Structure 1
Amino acid sequence: MPQSPGKINMADVARAAGVSMATASRALNNETGVAEATRRRVLAVAEQLSYVVSPEASRLAGGVTGRVAVVVPHISRWFFATLLEGLESVLRGAELDVLLYHVDGIEDRHDFFHRLPARRKVDAVVVLAFPVAEEEQRRLELMGVTIIAAGGQHAPYPNVCINDETAGRQAMDHLLFLGHRRIAMIAAVDPDQPGDLAPPGRSNAYYAALRDAGIPIDDRLVATVNWGGSEGADAMAQLLSQPAPPTAVYAHSDEVALGAIRTLRRAGLRIPEDMSVIGIDDHPLAELTDLTTVRQPVREQGEHAGRMLLNILRGEETDHDVVVPTKLVIRGSTAPPRS
């Protein structure tokens, strides 16, 4: 009967790989004096057995690593880059090195988590802004190190995030307060993440706000697209093709909202006189384009996650779940509907 991962030790790895304990140790710790073919064989066996070097043994052998692994789905998008910037600034100030793992797409993500137990030469793992499936959680926990999350709510680890439903209600309540009753939603999903893990908060806010206002749900006023400006533009064209177009649009993000505005302007419609538009996030372009939005403090979430991690590594008390507040920022893209 195979042993459970918690009972696997280095002797098991060495025996299965056909090498001595000393060779297995050098291979697993990436030390010199091991042939590359032997190193690959030992690492393959360790992965197969889900063997993880004991953190206590690592500390006895050479102290803490001084490294933190950061897992992020996108590094070119403003939100993720800003979140990472805040986190890295705090960790750098504490003289911790950041190892960045970019899991861009379903295949990359699957490969990363499959190989995860071999990535054990870190003191902690920070998961940035994507929900972690149950099997992925199990792979993370095999590492035996501290795990925290930032920028997303769907994680069983200490985490820092906003409440997406609250942010969505702030946007919707603003449009309802202005007097809009025919409100469309452009819902955005990330095509690079599993669909069953998509955070529902911003969509839930739309339906709850309409129900609370006594407004019937019209599915023709909901367009779901992949995340991005061009996709927002296409969704707006779809909404304008309805026999009775909306008077206001609630977009899941500012990038999507700005794409919608492009379509509206090309159609000869004025904003906000003919159509109000609101987004979420307060992207740097939102202020430049006078877009009404709901601001979330992105860099601050990264910084807070960094401080939370340092407290845990030092054995100090820290909050497990931190929800940072969002704020409605009224600019020139929203106004009462025309009579």
Structure 2
Amino acid sequence: MAKRPTALNMADLASRAGVSIATVSRALSGAPGVSSQTRQRIKDLAQDLSYTVSPDAARLARGSNGRIAVVTPDVAHWFYAAMLGGIVTALHGTDLDVLLYEVKDERERRRFFEDLPARRQVDALILVALPISDDERRRLDLMDVTVVMAGGVLGEHPHVRIDDVTAGRQAATQLVRAGHRRIAMLNSSGTWSLEYAAPSARLQGFTQALEAAGLEVHPELIVHRRWGSHGGVEGMSDLLSLPEPPTAVVTFSDEVAFGALRTLRRAGVAVPHTLSVVGIDDHHLADMFDLTTVHQPVAQQGAEAGRLAQQILQQGDVSTPHITLPTHLVARGTSGPPPQ
């Protein structure tokens, strides 16, 4: 019985090409540091010898694991799914593998960070809009790996985000310019014990817009409810029960706006003729609801975070580690002038 031919390894290919194993690894993975002539010669030789790159051998040769961990509170929700899709798209075609960790509740998040030292098999962590405690931040620093925050800020670590203050100001300014004077904000509290930065930042932008127009910010018109459509249902019910309801409402997010619109529909309140609603995010269903909203580029934030992580791993540094992407208002049918 004929013996099977012995499979070539990277050392064999390096020996036949007259170069180092590291050069072969860089040439076949597309990494910089190899001349175009040498790269092509190695690729041609690998093809002639039917050589297939072993991922583990390539990683060993370059002294890294070749893995990026993405940590997200949710994989099903549109925001996190869009962010994850952007990260995966940006890393597609590279020699980096993506490991996904979902931490839905406090217990799972604590366990993830308690086990963090054992996760040194990754070269980078991308955190997707995840609130982090001071103790968890110290654990991240002890890992000595690249950490990138997508959809938020984490100290001096590289990040990609939007300016939530600007988003809140853009939403409220739309209503001020339409002539509204009694404007409410239906804000949100997160599902974590740790505080999200976005609610306070968007409220700050909302307040700035009203004060710049010389309008009073009425405390009874600032309502905080649990994040999500159910919070929008409850919060809008509270606003409608006031002796003098608002003529316009800015909601923390589009999901909150969807719940608020349901309450208004069931109460027989005409939108926007009696009450206008403006959301923030530009959810993929916002157009179907004809919702005026502030668009934020969610998938692009994920893609930029993925590229940041890749560039830092390949180059050791980047010229712009902190990226803030612009937001803009999308005017649709839920906003208009106040009732006469």
- Aligned in 2, Cα 1:60/1:287: closer, same or farther, shift over 3 Å? closer
Q: Which moved more, 1:98-107 or 1:59-68?
A: 59-68
* Paired position in structure 1 for 2:144: 144
Secondary structure at the aligned position of 2:187 is classed as strand
* Paired position in structure 2 for 1:177: 177
Measure, in 2, the Cα distance between the counterparts of 1:217 and 1:327. 23
Measure, in 1, the Cα distance between the counterparts of 2:199 and 2:245. 27
- Aligned in 2, Cα 1:198/1:117: closer, same or farther, shift over 3 Å? farther
Secondary structure at the aligned position of 1:249 is classed as strand
Q: Does the 8 Å contact 2:199/2:252 carry over to 1?
A: no
Secondary structure at the aligned position of 1:149 is classed as strand
- Output the amino acid matched with 2:322: D
* Paired position in structure 1 for 2:110: 110
Alignment of structure 1 residues 211-230 onto 2, 5 Å: 211-230=211-230
- Output the amino acid matched with 2:328: K
* Paired position in structure 2 for 1:46: none
Measure, in 1, the Cα distance between the counterparts of 2:122 and 2:154. 23
Q: Tell me the C-alpha RMSD between the 2 structures.
A: 1.6
* Paired position in structure 2 for 1:209: 209
Note the C-alpha offset of 1:197.
5.5
Alignment of structure 1 residues 1-339 onto 2, 5 Å: 63-195=63-195, 200-315=200-315, 317-339=318-340
Q: Does the 8 Å contact 1:106/1:194 carry over to 2?
A: no
Secondary structure at the aligned position of 2:286 is classed as helix
- Output the amino acid matched with 1:327: H
Measure, in 1, the Cα distance between the counterparts of 2:330 and 2:203. 20
- Output the amino acid matched with 1:168: G
Query: For residues 279-299 of structure 1, what are the alpha-carbon distances to aligned partners after superposition, in whole Å with 9 as ceiling and x for unaligned?
Result: 000001101111000000111
Q: Does the 8 Å contact 1:131/1:155 carry over to 2?
A: no
TM-score, structure 2 normalization: 0.79
Note the C-alpha offset of 1:169.
0.6
Q: Does the 8 Å contact 1:182/1:246 carry over to 2?
A: yes
- Output the amino acid matched with 1:231: G
Q: Does the 8 Å contact 2:132/2:194 carry over to 1?
A: no
Measure, in 1, the Cα distance between the counterparts of 2:162 and 2:237. 30
Q: Does the 8 Å contact 2:248/2:277 carry over to 1?
A: yes
Q: Which moved more, 1:83-92 or 1:151-160?
A: 151-160
Measure, in 1, the Cα distance between the counterparts of 2:251 and 2:338. 17
Q: Does the 8 Å contact 1:131/1:153 carry over to 2?
A: no
Q: Does the 8 Å contact 1:149/1:155 carry over to 2?
A: no
Measure, in 2, the Cα distance between the counterparts of 1:154 and 1:317. 17
Secondary structure at the aligned position of 2:69 is classed as strand
- Aligned in 2, Cα 1:82/1:292: closer, same or farther, shift over 3 Å? same
Measure, in 1, the Cα distance between the counterparts of 2:128 and 2:196. 18
Measure, in 2, the Cα distance between the counterparts of 1:239 and 1:113. 40
Q: Which moved more, 1:180-189 or 1:62-71?
A: 62-71
Secondary structure at the aligned position of 1:270 is classed as coil
**The structure with more radius of gyration:** 2
Note the C-alpha offset of 1:130.
2.1
- Aligned in 2, Cα 1:127/1:199: closer, same or farther, shift over 3 Å? farther
- Output the amino acid matched with 1:210: L
Measure, in 1, the Cα distance between the counterparts of 2:74 and 2:247. 33
- Output the amino acid matched with 1:319: T
Q: Does the 8 Å contact 2:187/2:199 carry over to 1?
A: no
- Output the amino acid matched with 2:326: P
For structure 2, which runs of at least 5 residues remain unmatched after alignment? 1-58
Equivalent pairs counted in the alignment come to 281
* Paired position in structure 2 for 1:49: none
- Aligned in 2, Cα 1:293/1:217: closer, same or farther, shift over 3 Å? same
Measure, in 2, the Cα distance between the counterparts of 1:151 and 1:300. 10
Identity of aligned residues (%): 48
Secondary structure at the aligned position of 2:287 is classed as helix
For structure 1, which runs of at least 5 residues remain unmatched after alignment? 1-58
